[in-house]
Amino acid sequence: MPSTRFIFGFHAVTSRLRQNPNSIKEIFIDATRTDLRAQELIKLAENKKIHVISCTGSKLNSMSGNDRHQGIVANIDSISNYVGIDDILDELTEPARLLVLDGIQDPHNLGACLRVADAFGVHAIIAPKDRAVGLTPTVYKVSSGAADTVPYISVTNLARTLKQLKEQGIWIIGTAEDAEHDLTHFRISGSVAWVFGSEEKGLRRLTRENCDQLVRIPMQGNIESLNVAVSAGICLFETHRQQSLG
């Protein structure tokens, strides 16, 4: 199995250059990009001793799978920055704050979730290996660099992982429209893992059963549900707000 993948877009590639340059094998840039932004990226890459290759836009289209690469694509080592959940938890000197995504398949939603996670101090995102989008080039681009600041951990068995988190003293909070508890009046303290289901079906049965508590976001309008990244942002902000108050 190859250990490489492509990321594209100026935000994603620049972030990777700054956060984990050793994982970059080479950078491809559209030969027609001679603007200041491109020049600055090339200079940064040269400072990090990363080989930059000029090429055609069509070659970049082929590598990224679309034409939204902004003229920049990087070939990265996909396993160079792997970490496990135990690695994350062992290093923490504060209560854990985790985001668990149960089967999110839309790359734009995952990219937005990564940005939200970065904004509110999430230590890691956990997701199943199957029925989940994973870190695709589109996810990297949408995350605007957050894919390099928030560890993304794929697990084989999500239900078992939730049980292991509970054994380590982490409170598992699932979100569901029919939950008894309202986020507005829900006390959040200590180490927590927020769990969100897929865009269409919500939490799977085993995932739901392994949550310590189910919480719903109060809705006052006519829309019955929110985008998963919006929901995650609301819950993580409330977590940050409450825990900041001590």
User: pLDDT for 14-39, tens place per residue?
Assistant: 888 987 788 899 999 999 999 999 99
Dist CA 128 CA 122 (whole Å): 18
191 and 101 fall within a common domain:
yes
CATH number, domain containing residue 195 = 3.40.1280.10
Dist CA 171 CA 166 (whole Å): 6
Confidence of residue 4 (pLDDT cuts 50, 70, 90): low
Neighbours of 228 (CB within 10 A): 23
40 and 12 fall within a common domain:
yes
237 and 202 fall within a common domain:
yes
Q: Which of 99, 139, 91 is nearest to 119 (CA)?
A: 99
Q: Which residues pair with 7 in a beta bridge?
A: 74
3-state secondary structure of 166: helix
Checking if the pLDDT of 3 tops 60, the result is: no
Dist CA 116 CA 76 (whole Å): 24
For the chain, the domain total comes to 2
Dist CA 215 CA 107 (whole Å): 25
User: Angle, nearest 10°, between helix axes 228-245 and 107-119?
Assistant: 10
Dist CA 125 CA 112 (whole Å): 12
Dist CA 140 CA 110 (whole Å): 9
Dist CA 246 CA 238 (whole Å): 13
Residues 140 and 9 sit within 8 Å (Cβ to Cβ): yes
Mean pLDDT rounded to a whole number for the chain: 89
Dist CA 192 CA 1 (whole Å): 35
Range of the domain at 40: 4-77
Checking if the pLDDT of 93 tops 50, the result is: yes
Checking if the pLDDT of 79 tops 70, the result is: no
67 and 118 fall within a common domain:
no
pLDDT of the residue at 167: 93
52 and 91 fall within a common domain:
no
Checking if the pLDDT of 2 tops 70, the result is: no
3-state secondary structure of 244: helix
Single out the residue in 77, 99, 133 at which a domain terminates. 77
Dist CA 70 CA 30 (whole Å): 8
Confidence of residue 1 (pLDDT cuts 50, 70, 90): very low
pLDDT of the residue at 77: 79
For residue 234, give Cα distances in angstroms to 1, 9, 141, 151, 176.
38, 28, 23, 20, 14
| Residues in binding site | 197, 217, 226
21 and 58 fall within a common domain:
yes
For the chain, the first-to-last Cα distance in angstroms comes to 47
Neighbours of 18 (CB within 10 A): 13
Proportion of the chain above pLDDT 90, given as a percent? 61
Residues 76 and 51 sit within 8 Å (Cβ to Cβ): no
| Residues in binding site for S-adenosyl-L-methionine | 197, 217, 226
pLDDT of the residue at 19: 75
3-state secondary structure of 214: strand
**Sole residue written with tokens 């250990």:** 3
110 and 159 fall within a common domain:
yes
133 and 216 fall within a common domain:
yes
Q: Which of 91, 89, 166, 161 is nearest to 127 (CA)?
A: 161
94 and 181 fall within a common domain:
yes
